[in-house]
Amino acid sequence: MDNLNEIIVRIKADTSSFNNPIDVLRGEIPQFWRGNDIRFEIGIFNGENIWSVSNYASISLAIRKLTDDGKVPSASTPALMQKICTSFDDTLTSATWENGTKQHVVIPFSSDESNVVVGDHWLSIWATTIDTTPKIITLCAGIVRILEVGGGNLSTPPDPIKIYYTSNECDNRFIQLAAIDTNTNLGTSDSMVPSQGAVKTYVDQHTASGQGEATSASNLGTGIAIFKEKIDGDLKFKTLKAGDNVSIAANDSEVTISSSVDASEEGMVNPMTTAGDLIVGGESGAAVRLGKGSDGQVLKSTIDGLGWEDESSSYALPTASADTLGGVKVGSNLTIANGVLSADDQSYTLPTASTDTLGGVKVGDNLTITGGVLSADDQTYTLPTASANTLGGIKVGDNLTITNGVLSADDQSYTLPIATADMLGGIRPDGTTITVNPSTGIVSAIGGSSSGDDSSDGWIPSSQYVDITYGATGDTYTAPADGWIYTKCNTFNVDAYIIGEVIINGEAGSEVYGGGDTTYPTNKSLFLLFPVGSGYAFRMFNSNLYINVFRFIYSKGAL
């Protein structure tokens, strides 16, 4: 249920007529209680046709006070109420106008804005176009009535702009004359201004004698208006004009409108007698009555014309199938317009087949397709023999077995032979001059002499050394004498290592020393010490290390 929040005045602005606008909600001239919230709903028509408002820049509504003698005010008269609207709805239809849900424009006034002088005033509604040189188009104009008292804002309304003189102002403005024309009670000379008393006497005399001016005229009822307008004292009425087969006659008190059609030319006689009757063409097309059928019957064409039959005899369209011609309902991707069924344009892309997707494949090598059937060529596969470079098959040899496709080696115990000058085998370090790093398995030797010094301490490191600037990994350095290369490094990642390579007689990798691991924790120290002969070149390689110390330590035999 809607709430009443404001007084609605719904005006049909008919540009084809100059009649007073009517409030279509009440069937009378627009009116409202002063001091209330007012909502003007305006639809713009040309007769019964709805105008478009797409070429309007604004629509204005103004209410002005009539002149003292009840005449239409000029456009320059200050407005009691006025607003301009620039927002429109151009989707108005006859249906939405009739049911009151839409209008071209809404112009609201608050209770303060409608708190004006009561009485009959002049309502004007006009539009300004969007042309380069804007045009002003009057949409409708006429009387609007403001009533007292309807609650709302009951404060004293503001006085309208003064357009009259008081009696004192008149006395001061007009000159009192001694010479008076006894016929008119006015001055006897064009240069003489009549007194206020003389003007009043003249008006009273002429009003009493019946020479006063008519004030207005109006049309009654809802028919075609006869009264057009009043200009000064002239009431202007439209004339009646006879159309085809119509005649008009008038006497002193009546106007008679008659049809001039002969009785033989009159329309058909209505044969219907009962609610629900139909008129159908009988013999030779003569109009005859067809009575209403029984409940549930349908009108059907028969050999004798039209007649009522039971609905059960009507035709039921069968459902279409592969074997039956029948009807279908319009489903997805189908449309029907004017009885024509159409399918939406669709492009289908077959997906590529995969282990998870059912789709299409292209026919490649050793495949053929015939009649939509995919076939593979008959092929005999030979497993290649496995080698260092070829992934292939092997035969099970000695000390190997295969069970359920699993290859196994027999359990065997191997004894490492002792190394000799002629046999590759194992050795055992003495732990003094030869040591093995238990973590890396790297063997290191201490002692010996490349300088020919046979003293027992010839290759023992001395306390004298020279620090070397470490370059990039792989850089080459030269030993200044017999001695030892000593490095101390900090790890900062796994896979850390450091390697020293001694080059003897130009042969790289003559002696290689190194240390490293893949599991060193960060910030652990890694050391390397290896011998190098005087003048020998050597290279250093490292990864994931920070070199803290890199120095050459002289052997005692080199001092």
User: Which residues are registered as beta bridge partners of 12?
Assistant: 43
Instruction: Please check the confidence at residue 238 and state whether its pLDDT lies above 90.
Output: no
Is 386 among the domain residues? no
Query: Do 497 and 544 fall within a single domain?
Result: yes
Amino acid at 356: D
Instruction: Please check the confidence at residue 452 and state whether its pLDDT lies above 50.
Output: no
Residue that terminates a domain, selected from 159, 184, 208: 208
Give the whole-angstrom CA distance, residue 320 versus residue 64.
72
Instruction: Please check the confidence at residue 449 and state whether its pLDDT lies above 50.
Output: no
Query: Do 80 and 16 fall within a single domain?
Result: yes
Confidence of residue 458 (pLDDT cuts 50, 70, 90): confident
pLDDT of residue 36: 92
More confident residue, 550 or 241: 550
Query: Do 12 and 137 fall within a single domain?
Result: yes
With the C-alpha atoms ordered 145, 147, 152, 158, is the resulting torsion angle positive or negative?
positive
Instruction: Please check the confidence at residue 263 and state whether its pLDDT lies above 60.
Output: no
Query: Do 20 and 131 fall within a single domain?
Result: yes
Letter string b/e over residues 400-410, b meaning 16 or more CB atoms within 10 A of that residue's CB: eeeeeeeeeee
The tokens for 460 are 């023992």
Instruction: Please check the confidence at residue 204 and state whether its pLDDT lies above 80.
Output: no
* Total number of domains in the chain: 3
More confident residue, 318 or 188: 318
Is 307 among the domain residues? no
Average pLDDT, the chain: 81
pLDDT of residue 80: 94
Query: Do 74 and 184 fall within a single domain?
Result: no
Query: Do 91 and 171 fall within a single domain?
Result: no
Is 360 among the domain residues? no
Is 191 among the domain residues? yes
Mean predicted confidence (pLDDT) in 337-346: 84
Confidence of residue 1 (pLDDT cuts 50, 70, 90): low
Collapsing DSSP states into helix, strand and coil, what is residue 230?
Answer: strand
Mean predicted confidence (pLDDT) in 127-154: 87
The pairing of beta strand 278-281 with beta strand 255-259: unpaired
- CB of 63 within 8 A of CB of 43? no
Query: Do 64 and 176 fall within a single domain?
Result: no
Q: Identify the top-confidence range among 97-111, 239-253, 443-457.
A: 97-111
Query: Do 461 and 533 fall within a single domain?
Result: yes
Is 88 among the domain residues? yes
Query: Do 46 and 131 fall within a single domain?
Result: yes
Q: Please tell me the least confidently modeled range out of 3-7, 69-73, 327-331, 528-532.
A: 3-7
Mean predicted confidence (pLDDT) in 153-176: 55
**CA distance readout (Å), 202 to 55, 181, 215:** 54, 11, 20
More confident residue, 139 or 223: 139
Instruction: Please check the confidence at residue 44 and state whether its pLDDT lies above 90.
Output: yes
More confident residue, 247 or 447: 247
pLDDT of residue 48: 92
Query: Do 109 and 192 fall within a single domain?
Result: no
**CA distance readout (Å), 60 to 30, 88, 106, 478:** 16, 12, 11, 104
Confidence of residue 456 (pLDDT cuts 50, 70, 90): low
Residue that terminates a domain, selected from 156, 191, 208: 208
Instruction: Please check the confidence at residue 375 and state whether its pLDDT lies above 70.
Output: yes
Is 539 among the domain residues? yes
Query: Do 181 and 114 fall within a single domain?
Result: no
pLDDT of residue 45: 95
Q: Supply φ then ψ for residue 202, to 5 degrees.
A: -65, -45
Is 325 among the domain residues? no
Mean predicted confidence (pLDDT) in 521-529: 82
Q: Find the CATH number of the domain harbouring 48.
A: 2.60.40.3350
Question: Per-residue DSSP letters for 40-68?
Answer: EEEEEEETTEEPP-TTEEEEEEEEEEPPT
**CA distance readout (Å), 30 to 42, 44, 54, 68, 217:** 12, 16, 26, 21, 18
Query: Do 197 and 117 fall within a single domain?
Result: no
Is 420 among the domain residues? no
Continuous segment of H or E residues that includes residue 119: strand 119-129
Q: Which domain holds residue 194?
A: 167-208
Confidence of residue 28 (pLDDT cuts 50, 70, 90): very high
More confident residue, 111 or 161: 111
Confidence of residue 436 (pLDDT cuts 50, 70, 90): low
